[in-house]
């Protein structure tokens, strides 16, 4: 039977909203530490402060780069990666260049993944590659990204940023995020050593348990407190 700690160790507690202040960061880091989350996932300029906030706990710091739309040049993504590592991040979540992916510039996309992956691994840092599957919708493109992660020895393939908003039929903007269809495809085409992170729309314990059955080992979430309250209720303290 699962324990609450095992659930908590699946969670990257997301602290990425554009409006978050330093005070919000401190509050959210405290939530992550109290619940034993695997990491706090933070914006680059918050890495050093987040590292101080989680010091002495089991919670590590994950930084996003090229976030949320992946539009920086490879050189800037590399510089950003090296900076967040210097500031204390032990995991990096990078967004692919979505436009290059959609136009079929596969060499560019894979070269960029490899560049960032090598920089991370040279310093013992885990890399997660964000596909942004609300924008990258073609099955062949998603499979290519899985295979590129395999070839470049990426640690995690990740579905979404949570900010990949698309216009819906009613005119509003929203995202689907970590759908069952996407997760099944990613787990099928990623090598066993490439783990899967589900992000975008994961807000309940029920959803975490469901994606876990699909082979997901890490999730991005903001509703960590609610999730862990339910986990403790179901699985004990």
- Catalytic residue (one of 87, 93, 134, 141): 93
Q: For this structure, is 158 an active site residue?
A: yes
C-alpha 41/C-alpha 65 separation (Å) is 11
C-alpha 235/C-alpha 4 separation (Å) is 6
- Other beta carbons within 10 angstroms of residue 78's beta carbon come to 18
CA 226 to chain centroid = 20
The answer to whether 102 and 51 have CB atoms below 8 angstroms apart is no
- The DSSP code sequence of 174-228 is E---S-HHHHHHHHHHS-TTSEEEE-SS--SHHHHHHHHHTT--EEEES-HHHHH
Q: For this structure, is 197 an active site residue?
A: yes
State the catalytic residues: 93, 158, 197
């Amino acid at each position: 039977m699962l324990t609450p700690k095992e659930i908590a160790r699946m969670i990257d507690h997301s602290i990425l909203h554009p409006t978050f202040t330093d005070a919000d960061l401190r509050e959210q880091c405290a939530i992550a530490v109290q619940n034993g989350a695997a990491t706090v996932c933070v914006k680059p300029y918050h890495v050093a402060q987040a590292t101080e906030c989680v010091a002495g706990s089991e919670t590590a710091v994950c930084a996003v780069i090229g976030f949320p739309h992946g539009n920086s040049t490879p050189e800037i993504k590399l510089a950003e990666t090296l900076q967040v590592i210097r500031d204390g991040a032990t995991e990096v979540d990078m967004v692919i260049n979505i436009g290059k992916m959609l136009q079929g510039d596969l060499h560019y996309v894979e070269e960029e993944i490899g560049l960032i992956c090598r920089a991370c691994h040279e310093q013992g840092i885990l890399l997660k590659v964000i596909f942004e599957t609300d924008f990258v919708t073609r099955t062949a493109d998603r499979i290519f990204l899985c295979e590129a992660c395999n070839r470049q020895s990426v640690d995690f393939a990740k579905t979404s940023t949570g900010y990949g908003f698309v216009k819906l039929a009613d005119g509003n903007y929203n995202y689907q995020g970590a759908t069952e269809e996407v997760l099944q495809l990613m787990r099928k085409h990623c090598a066993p050593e490439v783990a899967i992170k589900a992000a975008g729309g994961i807000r309940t314990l029920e959803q975490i348990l469901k994606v876990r059955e699909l082979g997901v080992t890490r999730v991005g979430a903001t509703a960590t407190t609610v999730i862990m309250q339910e986990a403790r209720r179901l699985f004990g303290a």
